[in-house]
Structure formats: C-alpha cells, structure tokens
C-alpha cells in the first residue's frame, strides 16, 4: 500500500509577500495584474477571500468587492527562491517528489523510515520545517493515492492536514462532489448534474460501458476515480511542457462563428488554470486545438510570449480553415520555453491580459 503526501503551500505568492513585509499581514492582499489593464488575480490571502476575492477573478471585480484590497505585482524571482527551499525540504524525505507548481508537490514516502515510517508524522514535520525555514505555512493530504491525497490537502486549509486511511477511501470518495474528480471541469460537471449525478457515489451507478458511451475515453477515468482507484505513480522531476484546457461540446459547433463565440469562455477557463498552476517558466507558444465532427484533429500554434484573445482567435481561424467542418472539441493553451530561466527578451506571461 502506497503512502502519498500532497503538500500545498497556503496562498503562496501572497504568503511570500506577507513574509517579506510583515505590515501586510492581517490586511486583504492580492497578487495580480492592474485593473486599468484588465488584469486578473493570481492569488490572494484569506482576508481578501473573506470578501469573495479569488484567483482568476478580474482585478477590477476584486476591487469592487474589496475596495481596500492591497494589490501587488508578482515577483517571480522571490517566489522561485522560496520554491527551491521548499523542494529541498520535500527531497530530504524522499527522492520520489513530483512538483506540480512552485509550491505544490506529491511525495511518495512508502517505505521511508523517517518518523517511524508514519506519513502523518512526516507531513507534520515537513510543514513545521516550511514554517521555520521558509517563513510560510503549508497544508497536506495523506492517502494511498494521488487523487485522494490532493483532495485531502484542501480539507483543513490553511496550515492543516488531513489523513484518509486505506479503509476510509471508499466512503471518503463516495461523498465527494463529482467536480472534485481530476479532469471534470464546469461543462462536464454541469452535464453530469443534468444526468442526475451529484456525487462520486451517484456516478458509481453507471457502468464502464455507459460512461465510455457518454464520455468517450474519459469515461474510463470517471469509472476508476469515482471509486477512488488511482494507480498513477509519483514521477520525480516531472516537467510540464504545456498547459491547456479543452471542451468537448454536446452539440457540434456548426461553423467558425460558433467556434469564435465559444472561445472567450474557453480562454477564461485557461486563465483560471494558468493562475492555479503558478508556472514560473516563460511562455514560448500559443496553441489552438480542434477536433472536427469526423474525429480528425488539428492544432495551430505560433511563437508568442503573452497570448491574448486576438492571438488565439487568429490560430482558431487558421486551424478551422483546414477542414471547415463542424467542431466537436475546442482547446486553447500554451507551450513553455525549454529553459527554466527566461532568455533575454522573454518575459513571464502577463497577468494583465484582457478578460
């Protein structure tokens, strides 16, 4: 039986800012783009969240909800420095560390002798070291799988942890809303809700064949994860080459105009995911993916450091012109530069792009 810890620092960017300027503590704080350039919030502290502010929200809306919000531009050099300290702590316990972002990672501590082999005690010790050595707080989830550990790490935030033991996995997962399943976005969650599926327990009434018929290849993942089955290993030093979102439409989009109308919602979903990923490497390319009604697919991409809606629209037009058929799937995303450090002239993607 594997022992997986999912560690996630609490409102990471904002926590680093408060650590470096203690006068910010206790005040509503956000890191993000400027309102006058139609920026978005990357992260915010819990004082700001009390007003309804959250990541991926437009800065203008955040300031409406919380006029006293202190807004700071991101400082990725300081965040990367803190990230190196955090990853060094993780790797002091196990070489099996899979980073997901600057502050978030899976750790496989199966067979590790530290703390008498207790993953719970290791998570407590790791969190204490992050507080003492980095000056910020972290939360953790402990479970036999990556899926359950990641869900559990949100259970007692901030500065807490939650354990799901092997004999508790079945009941824990059954009660989860289906939106907690990895890969279930707003569109899929809404579709499941229309089908009368609210929880993972509800979803278990569907057979593998029924889910495959309704959701294609994703049906197999739904079948496994709603039962808490996740055999994915922790992969050390996994490097994300790209980041994207995509939607398969219940009714095919008939033409380019319909695709263009669907694009803003897809871009908004991508921006939310980009904000959560906290990727420090510079963007190298913008990408659009199309799957046509005959199941053939194509991608269009271009070199672009900070794509906006006009860039993705141009790529959409290029890709759609290759076949000009109804579209069943549409996706947008970016590819990252190979080098972790931006070369001269390349900058971190802006949080000021239009929303």
By annotation, the residues acting in catalysis are: 104
**49-86 in b/e burial notation, b at 16+ Cβ within 10 A?**
bebebbbbbbbebbbeebeebbbeebebeebeebbeeb
* H and E: helices and strands count for the chain: 13, 12
> Is 8 marked as a binding-site residue?
yes
Q: Whole-angstrom distance between the N-terminal and C-terminal Cα of the chain?
A: 45
The residues, any chain, with a CB within 8 Å of residue 39's CB and separated by 6 or more, are 32, 33, 58, 59, 350, 351, 352, 353
Q: Show the 3-state SS of 106-138.
A: EEECCCCCHHHHCHHHHHHHHHHHHHHHHCCCE
In angstroms, rounded to a whole number, what is the distance separating the alpha carbons of residues 320 and 304?
20
Peptide bond into 158 cis (omega under 30): yes
Given the DSSP bridges, would you call strands 70-72 and 29-32 parallel, antiparallel or unpaired?
A: parallel
Torsion sign (Cα): 35, 41, 47, 50: positive
Q: Which token pair is 121?
A: 């005690």
> Is 154 marked as a binding-site residue?
no
Please say whether the beta carbons of 290 and 330 come within 8 A. yes
Compute φ and ψ for 335, nearest 5 degrees.
-110, 140
Please say whether the beta carbons of 176 and 200 come within 8 A. yes
In angstroms, rounded to a whole number, what is the distance separating the alpha carbons of residues 15 and 24?
10
In angstroms, rounded to a whole number, what is the distance separating the alpha carbons of residues 197 and 2?
30
Residue list for the binding site: 8, 103
Residues contributing to the annotated binding site for Mg(2+): 8, 103
């Amino acid at each position: 039986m594997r022992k997986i810890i999912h560690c996630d620092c609490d409102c990471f960017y904002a926590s680093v800012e408060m650590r470096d300027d203690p006068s910010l503590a206790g005040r509503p704080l956000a890191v993000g783009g400027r309102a006058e350039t139609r920026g978005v919030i990357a992260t915010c502290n819990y004082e700001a969240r009390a007003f309804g502010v959250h990541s991926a929200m437009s800065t203008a809306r955040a300031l409406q909800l919380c006029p006293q919000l202190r807004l700071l531009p991101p400082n990725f050099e300081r965040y990367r420095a803190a990230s190196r300290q955090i990853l060094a702590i993780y790797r002091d316990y196990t070489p099996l560390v899979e980073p997901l972002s600057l502050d978030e990672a899976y750790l496989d501590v199966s067979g590790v002798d530290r703390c008498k082999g207790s993953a719970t005690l290791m998570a407590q010790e790791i969190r204490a070291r992050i507080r003492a050595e980095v000056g910020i707080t972290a939360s953790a989830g402990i479970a036999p799988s990556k899926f359950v550990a990641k869900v559990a790490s949100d259970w007692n935030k901030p500065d807490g942890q939650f354990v799901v033991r092997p004999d508790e996995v079945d009941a824990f997962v059954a009660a989860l809303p289906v939106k907690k399943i990895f890969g279930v976005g707003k569109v899929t969650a809404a579709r499941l809700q229309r089908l009368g599926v609210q929880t993972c327990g509800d979803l278990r009434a569907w057979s593998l064949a029924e889910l495959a018929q309704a959701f294609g290849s994703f049906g197999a993942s739904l079948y496994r994860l709603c039962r808490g089955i996740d055999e994915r290993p922790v992969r050390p030093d996994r490097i994300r080459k790209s980041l994207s979102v995509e939607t398969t439409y219940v009714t095919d989009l008939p033409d380019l105009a319909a695709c263009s109308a669907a694009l803003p919602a897809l871009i908004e979903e991508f921006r939310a995911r980009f904000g959560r990923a906290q990727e420090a490497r510079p963007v190298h390319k913008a990408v659009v993916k199309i799957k046509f009604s005959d199941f053939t697919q194509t991608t269009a991409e271009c070199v672009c450091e900070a794509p906006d809606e006009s860039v993705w629209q141009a790529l959409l037009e290029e890709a759609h012109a290759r076949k000009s058929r109804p579209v069943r799937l549409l996706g947008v995303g970016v590819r990252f530069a190979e080098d972790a450090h931006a070369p001269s002239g390349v900058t971190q993607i802006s949080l000021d792009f239009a929303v």
